[in-house]
Structure 1
Amino acid sequence: MIILNYHELVDGNPSNPWCLTNEAFESHLALCGDRLVSPQTFLKRCTDGKANAVDAVLLTFDDGFLSDYTGVYGRFVENGRIPGFTSFIPVDFVGMPGRMTWAMIEELDKAGIAIGSHGMAHVDLTSVSDSELYRELALSKLILEDRLGRAVPLFAFPYGRFSKRAWNAALRTGYTHLFTIQLGHHRGFEPFLYSRLCLTNMMDADYLRQHLRDPDSGRGFAWRASTKLGLYRQMMRVRYR
């Protein structure tokens, strides 16, 4: 399976590289076709050891932008264009200009959109103190679960940055699926890590088309050599020990 990562969608000119136009997003949907799956289907397939071979695509959105509600949900989910998506929320940002309110997030949750945590203040978890790490992981989870009335097992590392210390803390907190930003199929070198391709407005349709055809095509020689020799997982575990 392949996981795509987006941020904000706009009708006008993008204000930063991670902001895409709705027109560009529609072109991405056309490339994905009927390969799109709901978060619920994705999570079920995560328990399948052969899931990497499944020709499916999951959409995820980070940072709780208003366009998750007005654009992705309002324009594409409600009319059946896409089966759903995952929205990762930095709790401190809720209700800020350009971000969703709690009422919007709760409506998405009730509609079957998977809500995950993106921490409290969207900070790099590899460089925070133990108390800050606890706040980012545990407090964000507690607040989201209190607002939604359900467990929140999904977490996306801000900036895609992670470490063994950070993921162990996340697992102890009760998260079961940890999302980062890396090339390749969804399975990382640990079973609880999930790779995503972060789409920017500097990537053209051909780039996404190639990724959908072969998500490992963008990886370098070191990955290809270590994978061929069966050493990739061991090397990454040493790196993040």
Structure 2
Amino acid sequence: MAAPQLDILMYHSISDAPGPTSISPQVFAAQMQALAVSGVPVVSPDAMAQPPADRAVVITFDDGFADFDTTAWPILRDHGFRPIVYLPSDLMGQSENWAGCNTPARPLMNWDRIESLATEGVCFGAHSLSHPDLTTLPADRLETEVAQSGQDISARLGQPIHHFAPPYGASSPAVRRCIAQHYTTSVGTRLGVAKAGSDLHDLPRLEMFYFTDIARWRAHLAGRGRGYLALRQTLRQLRSIVRTGKETPAPPRQ
């Protein structure tokens, strides 16, 4: 029997905007339909803190784009899937304005919609205050960006915030130590699946832009996707070496 695993799906915008952080509504709907048909259970984000008893999926969104509310949530709700959305809390109600954002900028949800979605079953996590690269910050600002974001969301929603995602997936031992002081889990952008023993403050995710081919996504859900995932991990590793001249830590064996 294969070892239990948790597939943490990573999304940003569900729209026809250009770039890898946008997935078209049609593709997203097909991905969710394939997930529903597969029988792999979609579990609460709180399951990230516990090793899965069997295979399961958590659905995550970074940045809190307005199209989560208008496009993604109706599809998820129809399937009974409960996702988590990580919010850069100082920017809600504005448009993306961080390094590497799209042009034209995509709008973010406002607090009225976030509060309403929370009552409908959407979970929310922290994604810093202003979406900086946390690894570049002095210790005092790092603490503020990490801790205050969750505190502000908690005050708005009247519930504790247990989960965090560093912007860009940028992390370091110092960043992870800071996050661990305030949150139960943290997810990054390292490509892979979480298993028993995974670092709860450096959990890997599956970037769903890599699974826009629905046949390939179905194969992954059926347990036949190890070769493709290993190839993607290797290509990421090579790109990192070319870009930085340094080898990033290898992903765990799947």
For 2:131, which of 95, 117, 122 is the aligned residue?
122
Does the residue aligned with 1:197 lie in a helix, a strand or coil?
strand
Normalising to structure 1: TM-score of the pair?
Answer: 0.79
What letter matches 2:83 in structure 1?
A: F
Taking the aligned partners of 1:215 and 1:179, their CA distance within structure 2 comes to: 22
Q: Is residue 4 from structure 1 mapped to residue 5 from structure 2 by the alignment?
A: no
What letter matches 1:17 in structure 2?
A: P
Aligned to 2:174: 165
Say if 1:125 and 1:184 are closer, same or farther in 2 by CA, change over 3 A.
same
Say if 1:211 and 1:133 are closer, same or farther in 2 by CA, change over 3 A.
farther
The answer as to whether partners of 2:193 and 2:206 remain within 8 angstroms in 1 is: no
Gaps spanning 5+ residues in structure 1: where?
224-235, 237-241
Say if 1:157 and 1:208 are closer, same or farther in 2 by CA, change over 3 A.
farther
Q: Is residue 182 from structure 1 mapped to residue 190 from structure 2 by the alignment?
A: yes
Does the residue aligned with 1:135 lie in a helix, a strand or coil?
helix
Does the residue aligned with 2:79 lie in a helix, a strand or coil?
coil
Aligned to 1:23: 26
**Which stretch of structure 1 is more off in the superposition, 30-39 or 144-153?**
30-39
For 1:89, which of 82, 87, 90 is the aligned residue?
87
Normalising to structure 2: TM-score of the pair?
Answer: 0.75
Taking the aligned partners of 2:129 and 2:48, their CA distance within structure 1 comes to: 29
Taking the aligned partners of 1:118 and 1:215, their CA distance within structure 2 comes to: 30
Say if 1:158 and 1:207 are closer, same or farther in 2 by CA, change over 3 A.
farther
Aligned to 1:239: none
The answer as to whether partners of 1:17 and 1:202 remain within 8 angstroms in 2 is: no
Gaps spanning 5+ residues in structure 2: where?
1-5, 96-106, 235-248, 250-254
Aligned to 2:237: none
Aligned residues with identical type, % of pairs: 26
Q: Tell me how far 1:112 sits from its aligned partner.
A: 1.8
Taking the aligned partners of 1:144 and 1:132, their CA distance within structure 2 comes to: 18
Runs of 4 or more, structure 1, over 4 Å off, are none
Taking the aligned partners of 1:94 and 1:45, their CA distance within structure 2 comes to: 25
Q: How many residues align?
A: 216
1:1-241 equivalence runs, <5 A: 1-10=6-15, 13-33=16-36, 34-39=39-44, 42-44=45-47, 46-48=49-51, 51=52, 54-73=54-73, 75-78=74-77, 80-97=78-95, 98-172=107-181, 174-187=182-195, 189-200=198-209, 203-212=212-221, 213=223, 216-217=226-227, 218-219=229-230
